[in-house]
Structure 1
């Protein structure tokens, strides 16, 4: 696992990297940490090295960390982004780039631990769903499900790694199993979407981070928009630390 940290304040950068290193000492294999004070060098590194987790300071000299994250998302949709800042005012912008967490300075070791725990790479407990494929039960991590579509009595589970699993299951049954979870949203009678994979809502439908465009039932457009914004705001507020 690789972690990249960007902060143009050298003292804050050193302190944050030291805390990350302490927390990561408990994780095996131990992640590699790269530190940057220049956002251009950071983006150049990310275009080739592809870190799994990035810590971004929001207040940088040339552009905001939000803008840096937007550029990053244009070529890397999979890394977990953790923002670090002195203010909470950018929370709404942060969820537009699907940030995993939002730390307020001064950052604490406990805050770093909580932030890393919110990424898929550090989660100890991974809730799963049982799917029967070719008479064999498979346990699929729920966080890996991007969306589910259906035709008749067969559903297709589209996973983050590109895999598609197609058990005999109605969309009604899929909703029974997943719709109670806060990240799942029914936007169409034959679609169930994991909102953690949404890039943005467009007039044409729901655009996922991998470029997939999914439809929204016309009568549900306003409801879907409100549900998505409310979910992402709750997610970002949960990421605030004292």
Structure 2
């Protein structure tokens, strides 16, 4: 997750960076944080779509946050915009730029965490990871890289998109808890978990993956599982359309 912090007061840059890093550590997110003390400095290095979320101060000595946001939208930037402000009077102008949210100063931990949590639900999950112990080593595994996970006695075999396998001592329920009950992971049979981002279709009580592999569905829950998959597909499509709509 690439986060831009744009504020002309160092105290707020420091506080926002600290809170973003704290949130990332608690939610197994690998962040990249970029700090800017003015809109001018930010725009010099800005590229459309580079940042996942941009925290932008409205009132700055050398640049207006609203005008900066308008330039981003004119440049077809779909990044989530969160305004930092000491007053809510400018919110109508802020939301005309399709702002995602705003945070009133002085900022609080609970407010920043809530905004980041809401943003996390909208952003692609490519930056989220878990740490598992394999061969006496703690290995970071990105959730987006996991295709499937299957139990084998007291172990869990985690299959990654590059064809590699990570074997760890863990139950299926422990794995799901570690992912934060991430909605992309679906238990299709006893001890068998699939990442729905890699499911191509479900038919004839089988789950067909994008690489052509097949897994058996629990027969009694085949219809329920197929419905869950369709709902997930729809939610992902709707989210993609919503994200594209930030600049319309």
Secondary structure in structure 2 of the residue aligned to 1:145: helix
CA contact (8 A) 1:5 1:33 kept: yes
Structure 2 equivalent of residue 121 of structure 1: 123
Tell me whether 1:18 sits opposite 2:18 in the alignment.
Answer: yes
Structure 1 equivalent of residue 96 of structure 2: 96
Secondary structure in structure 2 of the residue aligned to 1:23: helix
Secondary structure in structure 2 of the residue aligned to 1:77: coil
d(CA) in 1 for partners of 2:14, 2:76? 25
d(CA) in 1 for partners of 2:57, 2:72? 14
Residue by residue over 1:156-207, the C-alpha shift from the partner in whole angstroms, topping out at 9 and shown as x without a partner, is: xxx43xxxxxxxxxxxxxxxxxxxxxxxxxxxxxxxxx6x7656xxxxxxxx
Residue by residue over 1:123-180, the C-alpha shift from the partner in whole angstroms, topping out at 9 and shown as x without a partner, is: 9669xxxxxx89786332536427xxxxxxxxxxxx43xxxxxxxxxxxxxxxxxxxx
CA contact (8 A) 1:50 1:76 kept: no
d(CA) in 2 for partners of 1:5, 1:96? 21
Within 5 Å, which residues of 2 pair with 1:38-117?
A: 38-47=38-47, 50-117=50-117
- Figure out how many residues of one structure are paired with residues of the other and give that number: 151
d(CA) in 2 for partners of 1:96, 1:78? 14
d(CA) in 1 for partners of 2:236, 2:56? 23
d(CA) in 2 for partners of 1:134, 1:28? 30
Secondary structure in structure 2 of the residue aligned to 1:3: strand
Within 5 Å, which residues of 2 pair with 1:89-238?
A: 89-119=89-119, 120-121=122-123, 138=230, 139-142=232-235, 144-145=237-238, 159-160=240-241, 198=245, 209=247
Structure 2 equivalent of residue 2 of structure 1: 2
CA contact (8 A) 2:58 2:85 kept: yes
Greater helix fraction, Structure 1 or Structure 2: 2
Structure 2 equivalent of residue 179 of structure 1: none
Q: CA deviation at 1:121?
A: 2.5
Q: CA deviation at 1:48?
A: 6.7
Q: Which structure has the greater CA radius of gyration?
A: 2
Structure 1 equivalent of residue 28 of structure 2: 28
- Compute the RMSD of aligned alpha carbons: 3.1
d(CA) in 2 for partners of 1:25, 1:33? 13
Tell me: CA distance 1:144–1:8, structure 2 relative to 1, closer, same or farther (3 Å): farther
Tell me: CA distance 1:48–1:90, structure 2 relative to 1, closer, same or farther (3 Å): closer
Gaps of 5+ in 1: 127-132, 147-158, 161-193, 200-208, 211-242
d(CA) in 2 for partners of 1:96, 1:48? 19
